[in-house]
Structure formats: structure tokens, C-alpha cells
A and B are shown apart, each in its own frame.
Chain A
Amino acid sequence: MNLNEIKRYSRQLILPDFGTKQQLRLKQAKVAVTGAGGLGCPASTYLALAGVGEIHLFDFDRVELSNLNRQFLYTPGLEGRLKAEAAAERLMEINPEIRVEAVCEKITYDNAFELLKGYSAIVDGTDNFAVRYAVNDAAAVLKVPLFHGAALMYEGRAMSIIPGETACFRCVFPEPPPAGMVPTCREAGILGSVVGMVGAIQATEAIRYLAGLEIGLKNSLLIINAETMSFDKVKVQRRADCTACGERFVPKPVEEVCTVESVQEDG
């Protein structure tokens, strides 16, 4: 570590379970952040601040004015720019010691297993079930730890998935809700600070895991309710018959049901 890095990371280096070895592990890590939106902005920012050496941001969307109540890596004037590119540039301004790359490609069930190869961890900040299940299944097959997060109105969810050790997203939710449970426009409502909490939790779990420290959301789904500010940590378990991480992998692409994202695009 150079003097600049020691100073930059000094406040985490003096943490009791943190030190040179942990910081070096972060520097050597290569993390994929899928989605550079409401979750991806806080998650990637905290990964960058902590000194994760290489971050790849996946997003094919462009910045819109309506993103700016929560996606704080973007500023007025950036509308129309590719989010992943704009965010990557901003993150390297925030921490010039690391490398951030933009991958402006849409993740699908067909390409996820190729695109997500070779990462130390994946932080999932996507906004629809089709991509979420693709990322989950790819992470399970590729044996890459996955830090799950999701948010809907005032509710947040987070869970850490360590392949071979803990339940995956599909163990907990084998299927997405049917298209019949279509959300209304109101469910596209989201507060920046709520989705920010979830992204910060995902990043904290990923940082501690990458540093080689114990983490708290293994086999646990955290449910945050920001109206009552209740944090419930419920126990989940692996399913032997899970099609993603169970005894036998079965590819199971999920169709894009009407989600918050497609509410914005299609309904």
C-alpha cells in the first residue's frame, strides 16, 4: 500500500478486525455490480470507497431526470448518457486508486453464464425478475458469491448467497410472482434513502466477505420496513431440489413479468 492508500483507508484500517491483509484482499477483488440504478449507485459507491480494486458496472439504460431522486452518481445534464459509463467515470473520480469498467450490455439468461464468469463477487441491483433469476442461476453455477438486494416502495430486502453453503434466491423464491399480480404505478414509488439503505447493506456484506470476515446475512433474508423501521431477519434454508443450486442444475429462464421497471416501460 502506498502512503496515499494508507491515508485514504485509514479509518477502516484501524477497525479491530480489519488491517493490511483485509485491505489487500479488497484491492485484489473483482466485483460485478449488476444494475447502476437505485441499488447499484449506493452499492458501487461503497465498494469503491472501501477500495475494491476492480468494479464492473452492468447497465444498458440511460440516465433520466426521474432517476435523480435516488441515483446519486448522476447529475443534471447527464440525461441520455449511458448509466454504466457515467457511473464508472464518477466512481473513478471518487476513488482514483481503483478501476471501474462499464458494461453496457443487457444481461439475459443466455449470456449471464458467460458475462458473470471470473468475479470474486456479484452485487445484484437489477430491477426485474428476468435478470434477477438469470444472475442468481449464473452465480450458483459459476460458484460466485451473490449479494442480493431489492426494494419496493418502503420495503427493502437483502440476502447474502455463498455457493455451496447457503440458500440461493431460488431456494427462497423458486418462482417469481405470476404476471397476474401486476403492480400498479404506485409501486414504482421509491425513496432514495430507502433503496440507499439496501444498497449500503449489500455493499457492507460484500466488503466484509471479500475481506475474509464473517457476514450476517447467510441463510437469512433481511426484510426492512421503512414505515415502521422494523428490520426482520428471517431464516431461510437450501432446498435440495433447487433448480439453481440443488443436486441437479436445470436452466429455468424467467419471463419478464410486469415489474416496477416494465411498469415504467410498458404499463
Chain B
Amino acid sequence: MVTVRLATPLRKFSDGKPEITASGRTVREVLENIEKEKPGFLEKVIENGEIRQFINIFHNNEDVRFKKGLDTEVQEDDVISILPAVSGG
């Protein structure tokens, strides 16, 4: 299982919790497995197979855009963070 940290604006997909666990061999599989539990999640994060412009996905604290994107492989106990920009101050 990997730990998935969801930024505050995405908390409705984790029942308000800051992190959830999910399984999968790649970032894409992990996201798809969350979608099975929480329908509507994937379209908030992905559009036409790409990560949305206003979303960042970090795998072990590195931006997956600079790795293999959604095909980045994940291992047991890895951490994925999903973040849109926030603006409050």
C-alpha cells in the first residue's frame, strides 16, 4: 500500500482525512484505485490522460512530471501527494 496525501481542496475524496492508503504499481493505478472507492476523483486530477495544469502530483516528494508522469512506478510504503494551488492568507 502507498500513502496518498490529499491537499485540503481534495478532502471530500478522503472523507475529510489528510491521508489515505491505496494500492497500485504506478501512480496511475493508485489514482484509478482511489476512483473505484471515490467516483469523481480521477476527473478532478486528470484530463485527457494528462495531469491537470493546476494539479501537481509528487511521488516521494518529487514532481512526477519530471519523472515518468502517471507511469511513475511506486513501491510499498511510498508517499504520493496530490496538490492544487491554494491561495488563502
A38 within 8 A of B: yes
Is A234 touching B7 in the complex (CB atoms < 8 A)? no
Instruction: List B contacts of A37 (CB < 8 A).
Output: 89
Q: Which of B21-29, B32-40, B59-67 is found at the contact surface with chain A? A: B59-67
Is B87 touching A259 in the complex (CB atoms < 8 A)? yes
Contact of A155 among B8, B54, B63 (CB under 8 A): B8
Contact of A225 among B18, B63, B84 (CB under 8 A): B18
Is B56 touching A172 in the complex (CB atoms < 8 A)? yes
Instruction: List B contacts of A153 (CB < 8 A).
Output: 8
Q: Which of A93-101, A110-118, A177-185, A244-252 is found at the contact surface with chain B? A: A177-185
CA distance A242 to B66 in the complex (A): 15
Is A151 touching B88 in the complex (CB atoms < 8 A)? yes
A128 and B87 in contact, given A178-B54, A232-B81, A234-B61 (Cβ under 8 angstroms): yes
Complex interface residues of chain B between 60 and 81 (CB less than 8 A to chain A): 61-63, 66, 79, 81
Instruction: List B contacts of A259 (CB < 8 A).
Output: 87-88
CB distance from A107 to the nearest CB of B (A): 13
Q: Looking across the interface, which residue of chain B has its beta carbon closest to that of A124?
A: B89
A50 within 8 A of B: no
Is A225 touching B5 in the complex (CB atoms < 8 A)? yes
Is B88 touching A190 in the complex (CB atoms < 8 A)? yes
CA distance A223 to B57 in the complex (A): 13
A39 and B89 in contact, given A181-B9, A181-B84 (Cβ under 8 angstroms): yes
Contact of B88 among A40, A175, A260 (CB under 8 A): A260
Is B18 touching A150 in the complex (CB atoms < 8 A)? no
Contact of A174 among B53, B79, B81, B88 (CB under 8 A): B53
What sequence of 0s and 1s flags, for each residue 105-134 of chain A, a beta carbon within 8 Å of any chain B beta carbon? 000000000000000000011111100100
Instruction: List B contacts of A232 (CB < 8 A).
Output: 5, 58, 61, 79, 81
Q: List 7 A-B contacts (CB under 8 A).
A: A124-B89, A150-B86, A151-B89, A154-B18, A177-B54, A228-B18, A235-B62
